[in-house]
Amino acid sequence: MNKEDKLVLGGREFNSRFILGSGKYNLELIKAAVENAGAEIITLAVRRANTKDSENIMDYVPENVTLLPNTSGARDASEAVRIAHLSRELGGGDFVKVEIMKDSKYLLPDNNETIKATEILAKEGFVVLPYMYPDLYAARELENVGAAAVMPLASPIGSNRGLATKDFIQILIDEIDLPIIVDAGIGKPSEACAAMEMGASAIMCNTAIATAKDIPMMATAFKMAIEAGRSAYLAGLGRVLTRGSESMDPLTGFLRD
């Protein structure tokens, strides 16, 4: 096992494999959530920024945490690119999570537009983390155009429905040479753990924590679940005993040495 088990994104190393969303709860709780979750990356919706002078989210984010601005609210590639530029101008750094949704009911990502935006931003030197629907061809395209990771959804965003796309996420884990970060839909720590056991590189989660009765405690529970899943993956899962006997006629009886 690799003793230094780090998550590497855009050449930067992270110890934590938990990316925390910042929406849906009070700013006072952000600090506690970040600390209890052990998160080193926190997302930030640039377009939904509060334009008031007071209650600036930046006042509540601990200093050692990397900001991951997202393009939430973008309807197509050009809007996403503009939001990313704005974010960089505002001092948001080179990281950007591309989120492009044309459907306001399910908020499902538009893979085609996401690929276009990723290509443009990667060429401009951004570390691009695209949120996407787990489609193999789209993931390959994202890899080809320079994404730093791929962020497939587990189920519709905010739904807490868990790993509905499990088999397809597994295909991405098996076939794509980039970190696979499961994003959206994870509702329980056990589901985050299951995704990590499958070989996901990290979990991005917001609603499950934001809607819990005790936000800091749920953040702790997710931290532990993600670490457990990661350790299980690195340790190599044991075999599952199957029922039934082996075939009666040996298949290899013909061998002559």
Partner 1 sequence: MENEFLVDSDKLSEAALKRKHEIENNKSVRIDHMKFLPNMDQLESDIQDKVLENLKDIDWDSYTDADVYRALAAKTPSIEDFKALLSPAAKKHIEKMAARAKIETAKHFGNTVYLFTPLYIANYCDNYCVYCGFNCYNDIKRKKMSFEEIRHEMEVISKSGIEEILILTGESPIYSDVKYIGEACKLARKYFKNVGLEIYPVNVNDYKYLHECGADYVTVFQETYNPDKYETLHLLGNKRIFPYRFQAQERAILGGMRGVAFSALLGLTNFREDALASALHLYFLARKYPHVEYSLSCPRLRPIVNNDKINPLDVHETELCQILCAYRIFLPYVGITVSSREEKHFRDGIAKICATKISAGVSTGIGDHEEKYEAYKEEEEKESKASDFDKKESIKALQQEAVSENEECGDEQFDISDRRSFDQMYDDMAGEGLQPVLNDYIYV
Binding residues for 1-deoxy-D-xylulose 5-phosphate: 158, 184-185, 206-207
Applying CB under 8 A, does 248 fall inside the site for partner 1? no
- Among the listed residues 3, 6, 31, 97, the single catalytic one is 97
If we measure between CA atoms, which residue out of 205, 22, 185, 24 comes closest to residue 106? Answer: 185
Per CB under 8 A, the segment of 27-35, 80-88, 116-124, 167-175 that binds partner 1 is: 167-175
Give the residue, chosen from 105, 213, 239, 243, that forms a contact with partner 1 under the rule CB under 8 A.
239
Is residue 97 among the annotated active site residues?
yes
**Smallest distance, Å, CB 239 to partner 1?**
3
CB of 128 within 8 A of CB of 98? Answer: yes
State the DSSP code for 47: T
Q: How far apart are CA 192 and CA 209, in angstroms?
A: 12
Applying CB under 8 A, does 254 fall inside the site for partner 1? yes
Per CB under 8 A, the segment of 39-47, 65-73, 90-98, 235-243 that binds partner 1 is: 235-243
Applying CB under 8 A, does 251 fall inside the site for partner 1? yes
The site for partner 1, by CB under 8 A, has a size of 20
Q: Which helix (H) or strand (E) segment is 101 a member of? A: none
Q: How far apart are CA 196 and CA 173, in angstroms?
A: 11
Give the residue, chosen from 52, 91, 237, 243, that forms a contact with partner 1 under the rule CB under 8 A.
237
Closest to partner 1 by CB, 91 or 238 = 238
**Smallest distance, Å, CB 234 to partner 1?**
12
Give the residue, chosen from 4, 28, 89, 257, that forms a contact with partner 1 under the rule CB under 8 A.
257
Q: Which helix (H) or strand (E) segment is 111 a member of? A: helix 111-123
Q: For 108, phi and psi rounded to 5 degrees?
A: -75, 140
If we measure between CA atoms, which residue out of 12, 3, 14 comes closest to residue 201? Answer: 14
Q: How far apart are CA 25 and CA 29, in angstroms?
A: 7
- By DSSP bridging, strand 18-20 and strand 12-14 are unpaired
CB of 155 within 8 A of CB of 184? Answer: yes
Closest to partner 1 by CB, 55 or 174 = 174
Give the residue, chosen from 66, 112, 159, 170, that forms a contact with partner 1 under the rule CB under 8 A.
170
Active site residues per annotation? 97
Q: Which residues bind partner 1 (CB under 8 A)?
A: 140, 170, 174-175, 177, 236-240, 246-247, 250-257
